[in-house]
Amino acid sequence: MTRWFSQRPRGGLASLAQFAVLVIIAGIVLVPLVATVLGGFKELGDLRANPFGLPKVWVWRNYWDILSGVRYWQMLGNSLVIALLTVFLTLALSSMAAFTFAHLHFFGERFLLSYMLLGLLFPAATAILPLFIKIRDLGLLNSHWGIVLPQTAFALGMGILLLRNAFKQLPGELLDSALMDGCGYFRYFFYITLPLSTPILATVAVIAFVSSWNNYLLPLVVLNSENRYPWTLGLMAYQGEYSTAWQLVLAFITLTILPAIVMFVMAQKYIVAGLTAGAVKG
């Protein structure tokens, strides 16, 4: 039994009050979300007269029109491609770099490690203008690579830090005996280090995926063709077009946040663990 406050003497009443507090806060958290979902089912006049309640008439068309169009699926597809490429590159590059920093010792090792961890100290926004110029000069403007590569570069610090610590935890005797038996570093990396580190690799993947999926500033600066927009940009563009038709905007918001919510409900344990453990260890 865990007790942070005394529960025994008047436990019933005190915990009832605490329960009530939770219900009220949960209400404040959920009401905007529920109103958004329901608002997507309303007609504009209904929304105006009755923003809280259930729709008078359930208008499925708002949702159906979006789902049967190309636009929504294209945006989600773009976001998915960008996020998967970012996750793959982040895992590949940071696990390789973390492996050398964890197991091999060479001149300048400490310096290079601190250099790579510099990226943890400031957000991409600080260098966004020179970054834009760089992407432009490399000819990556208006392409998905123009988002994937900088995103990966900024995720490397987090990836290397988490993975290096994890790789160092693996028993050193394992590597010694493997090397003695003639197993090279490459095989050790692929057959021993990576399989033994799947939980921390998953953490890095979750963090990289979520931050790529939700990224707004970088795509905003890099992209200008709407058919390449990820959903964050597409949502803002849609809102710009239909700003007066709130019922459509609300349906669009609902559908764009749906994948994140479904993922969250299905894999909540891993996502919460990934996002908080990553924060704690980083």
Residues whose CB is less than 8 angstroms from the CB of residue 194 and which lie 6 or more positions away in sequence, other chains included: 95, 201
Q: By the 8 A CB rule, do 115 and 81 touch?
A: no
- What Rg value do the Cα atoms of the chain yield, rounded? 24
**Binder among 84, 178, 237, 257 for another protein (CB under 8 A):** 257
Residue number with CB closer to another protein (84 or 275): 275
Smallest distance, Å, CB 232 to another protein? 5
Q: Count Cβ neighbours within 10 Å for each residue of 104-122 and write b for 16 or more, e otherwise.
A: eeeeeeeeebeebbebeee
Q: Contact between 262 and another protein (CB under 8 A)?
A: no
Q: Classify burial at 143, counting beta carbons within 10 Å of its beta carbon; exposed 0-12, middle 13-18, buried 19 or more.
A: middle
Chain residues 154-173 in contact with another protein, contact rule CB under 8 A: 154, 156-157, 160, 168-169, 171-173
The interface with another protein within residues 106-165 (CB under 8 A) comprises 106, 112, 115-116, 118-123, 125-134, 136, 149-150, 152-154, 156-157, 160
User: Which residue in 121, 198, 114, 128 sits closest to 160, CA to CA?
Assistant: 114
Residue 130 burial (10 A CB sphere; 0-12, 13-18, 19+): exposed
Instruction: For residue 251, state whether it binds another protein (rule: CB under 8 A).
Output: no
Kindly tell me which residue out of 54, 67, 266, 272 binds another protein, with binding defined by CB under 8 A: 272
Query: Between residues 67 and 258, which has the closer beta carbon with respect to another protein?
Result: 258
Residue 57 beta carbon to another protein: minimum distance, rounded to whole angstroms: 17
| Least separation in angstroms between CB 239 and another protein | 6
Residue 10 lies near another protein (rule: CB under 8 A): no
Size of the site for another protein (CB under 8 A): 105
* Site pattern 44..83 for another protein (x: CB under 8 A): x--xx-xxx-------------------------------
Is 24 among the residues that bind another protein (CB under 8 A)?
no
Where b means 16+ CB within 10 Å and e means fewer, 14-34 reads: eeeeeeeeeeeeeeeeeeeee
Asked if residue 131 lies in contact with residue 225, where contact means CB atoms within 8 angstroms, the answer is no
In the complex, minimum distance from the CB of residue 86 to another protein, in angstroms, rounded to a whole number: 12
